[in-house]
Amino acid sequence: MKDKARFIVVKVLTEIEENKAFSNIKLNQYFKKYDLTSLDRAFATEVLYGTVRWKLRIDYFIQSFLNRNIDTVNLWALNCIRIAVYQIFFMDKIPDFAAVNQSVDICKAKFPKLSGFVNGVLRNILRNKESFNVINESDPIKFMSIKYSHPEWLVRYFTKLFNQEFLEELMMANNQPPKLTIRVNTLKISKDNLREKLLNRGIKVYDGILEECLILEDIGHLEKVPEFIEGLFFIQDQGSMLTSKVLNPLPGQKILDMCAAPGGKTTHLAQLMKNKGEIVAFDIYKHKINLILDNAKRLGINIIKPVLKDATVYMEELNDSFDKILLDAPCSGLGLLRKKPEIRWNIKEEDIFELTKIQKVLLNNASKYVKIGGEIVYSTCTITKEENEDIIEDFLDENKNFELVDISNFVCDKLFIKNDYYLRLYPNLHDTDGFFICKLKRLW
């Protein structure tokens, strides 16, 4: 296959839909398998993520050129059409003929009998480009769903939480690629020295909100940069960094990270502790335990003890064992739609309520493991009320020996939306992933 970049995109799109694969993991697997230039990697990344983000808008448009339901179209052929439509309407520098011809060739490579169908649909689309912005829907939920390419149930759910202006800004932000943020590993280098090294490589560098954060111009395969290999930084969103900052672990303390993989927050905790003390890091998957170990080794950290454990299983022997606990709970991930756009298509409303059951069990277990006077940070990378405020309020109703802690000392004022104990981050307001963070203290 001559055009490896587009071929990879179609393969990943197909696996996302057939197997609910994660876009970032699959894309990296194919990048390792196929030898692509940095330009081809960047192109494949943009086409993949863009097509996933705008899938509903693209499909609505494609449907108008079909004489049957789009769900009955061969998935490989449909993905060939989708990536061409994305290039035609969302990428200025790609000639229309190149987008069409390459998609036809990719279809022909696997389903030669369908290449004529793909060619016919795309040629018809080129003759009717002006109709792309026409959305014939009077229902406001359906209209916004198509316009911003979010599933109907999610738009309907968001209307219960946000006003119209905020909702549209949020969905627009969800369709923008996130900035590339890194956490400086201050155990090995200062922020200024790392900035200088990266600038000398021709990488554009900007300051983030947090003192240990830098924002980089996306340069493609960052893992090949020597400073990354040497463990001078970790790729991490600022919202994720804030969870560790709010926990505020001190050197010499004993910390539990209940859901630790891949180790971004865990290694940040160790960094804040100056690599002194002990961090017990639970995860349920063996391969993720190995990820934590690999990241700790690269960053020069030796106080993390990864343990293969299902944190939902209560362990009485851990009662009153930890000074502080980080519970970054499994969640719906609806704060990550910029970074993992397929989540919007894979998650269902009923999944939220199933996840709350796990979150309650985890928080209840954490409440037993923390020492009297100790603290727990509860965080998620989602923006649903059920997984955030409701979890904490229910917990406090049932556990009078805990109270919420003011975390404003650890966070700059402009990040707070309301004057309460909860930190809520949104991509449209803070240019971070969507996050919820709060801190609980055990009184007796």
List the binding residues for S-adenosyl-L-methionine.
259-265, 283, 310, 328
107 is catalytic: no
φ/ψ of residue 435, rounded to 5: -140, 155
Helices (H), 91-210: 96-110, 115-127, 140-148, 152-161, 164-174, 191-200
Please state whether 296 falls in left (phi above 0), alpha (psi between -120 and 50) or beta.
alpha
Distance of CA 366 to the CA centre of its chain: 25
Q: Evaluate whether 304 touches 296 at the Cβ level (below 8 Å).
A: yes
Quickly count: other Cβ atoms within 10 Å of residue 440's Cβ: 25
Which residue's structure tokens are 């704060």? Answer: 335
CA distance linking residue 97 with residue 428, whole number of Å: 35
**Helix 115-127 vs helix 96-110: crossing angle, to nearest 10:** 160
Binding-site residues: 259-265, 283, 310, 328
The one-letter code for the residue type at 214 is L
Instruction: Name the maximum alpha-carbon separation found in the chain.
Output: 72
- Provide DSSP, 90-109: H-TTS-HHHHHHHHHHHHHH
Q: Which two tokens stand for residue 148?
A: 């911003």
Helices (H), 307-388: 343-346, 349-369
Distances (CA, A) of 407 to 403, 412, 438: 12, 10, 7
Distances (CA, A) of 373 to 34, 289, 322, 403, 442: 53, 30, 10, 11, 5
Q: Which of 109-116's residues contact partners 24+ apart within 8 Å by CB, and which partners? A: 109/1, 109/7, 110/76, 111/74, 111/76, 111/77, 114/74, 114/76, 114/77
Q: Evaluate whether 61 touches 132 at the Cβ level (below 8 Å).
A: yes
Catalytic residue among 107, 331, 381, 438: 381
Q: Which two tokens stand for residue 78?
A: 């449909």
Pairing of strands 254-257, 322-328: parallel
154 burial type by CB count under 10 A (0-12 exposed, 13-18 middle, 19+ buried): buried
Residues that are catalytic: 381
